[in-house]
Amino acid sequence: MTRKNETYPLQPPRERGTGRAIALAVVMHVLLGFFLYHGIHWQNSTPAGEEAELWTEVPDLSTPKRAPPPVPVQPAPPPPQTEDADIALQQQKRKQQQEAARAAQLAEQQRVKQQQEAEAKRQQQLAAQQAAQLAAQQKQAKLKQQQQEQQQAAEKLKQQQQQDALKKQQEEEQQQKQAKLDAQKKADADKAARAKAQADAQAKKMDAERRARIAQMQGAVGGGESSSGNGLAKSGTGSGSGGNAASAGYAEKVQRRVRPNIVWAGDTSGLETVVSVHCAPSGTLLSATITRSSGNSSWDDAALRAVQRSDPMPQDTDGKTPSSFKITLRPAG
């Protein structure tokens, strides 16, 4: 017993009556297949029928019409009972088909009508949406245009204000510049007037001193003419600062400065002009006047312009320019 249990593992107990149940199931399936076969074969048999020809017109039941008055006809011999049954069955079938076709047609018409109505409604909704969208776009475009116009007006106003401010600033600057220019002109005029007055006063003083020296020299030499004074006048030099005479070579310096500035294309014979010059110690020309004319006003003006163009005058050997001297000018020829 122990060896048998070790050789064969434990198995569940077998149920009783299994073979008998399988046999009964096989028998029932065989009987069921037999009955099904004979039942289907019996229903597929085609029954014999009768043929008949119809000589009367089938009435149109789609549109009811008034029935014409009955026409007396000869009674036909009654057909066989089987033919009447087939004709009635065919008529009923045809009537059902016509009613079904009419119902299908009405349903189709109703469906088409509903589709048309739905399409029309959809088109109306679409048109309404498009109209609303177009109105919104027009409103937005109008609003945008108004904003652009307002922005352009604001920019134009801003530009106008900037232009006005710039114009006002330019006018103020021009006025300030003109005021400065007028003040400078006035200051220059005042300075020139003071310089001229000072130069005239100094010239008068120096002239008086020169005359006094000449008188003293004439008295010393017995009334004779000073050759050095006459030479200075002829050569174009004069007294320097402090009343001292200019150096011997200063007249040549003055001639070299003035000659290149002479512009004259007229007659040169017999013309001689003496110009009296007053300068600052730095050489700045304070005044220049004609003390002796040549008799030709054009040449006198040309000589005076040449002296004025020579500003500043050269300095002497002591590093200073004589305060007053005369220049004798003759045209080159």
List the chain domain ranges: 94-184, 200-329
Residue showing tokens 């006198």: 300
User: pLDDT at position 65, please?
Assistant: 55
Query: What 3-state class would DSSP assign to 53?
Result: coil
Of 72-81, 170-179, 248-257, 311-320, the range with the lowest mean pLDDT is: 72-81
- Residues 6 or more apart whose Cβ sits within 8 Å of residue 323: 202, 206, 239, 240, 241, 278, 279, 280, 281
320 touches 241 (CB < 8 A)? yes
* Residues 132, 126: Cα–Cα separation, whole Å: 10
Q: 49: pLDDT confidence band, cut at 50, 70 and 90?
A: low
Please say if the pLDDT value at position 242 is more than 50: no
HSE toward the beta carbon, residue 148, CA cutoff 13 A: 6
pLDDT in tens, 169-208: 898 888 888 888 888 888 877 777 777 677 667 666 766 6
Which helix (H) or strand (E) segment is 277 a member of?
A: strand 273-279
294 touches 300 (CB < 8 A)? yes
The first and second tokens of residue 181, run together, are 């220019």
269 touches 333 (CB < 8 A)? yes
For residue 199, how many other CB atoms are within 10 A of its CB? 22
User: pLDDT at position 223, please?
Assistant: 33
Please say if the pLDDT value at position 323 is more than 70: yes
Which helix (H) or strand (E) segment is 288 a member of?
A: strand 285-292
Which helix (H) or strand (E) segment is 267 a member of?
A: none
CATH of domain 200-329: 3.30.1150.10
Main-chain phi, psi angles of 287, to 5 degrees: -160, 155
For residue 29, how many other CB atoms are within 10 A of its CB? 10
Highest mean pLDDT among 56-70, 83-97, 149-163: 149-163
Please say if the pLDDT value at position 1 is more than 50: no
* Residues 107, 109: Cα–Cα separation, whole Å: 5
**Gap between the terminal Cα atoms of the chain:** 175
Of 20-24, 82-86, 229-233, the range with the lowest mean pLDDT is: 229-233
* Residues 193, 200: Cα–Cα separation, whole Å: 10
Q: Is the overall model pTM greater than 0.75, yes or no? A: no
286 touches 330 (CB < 8 A)? no
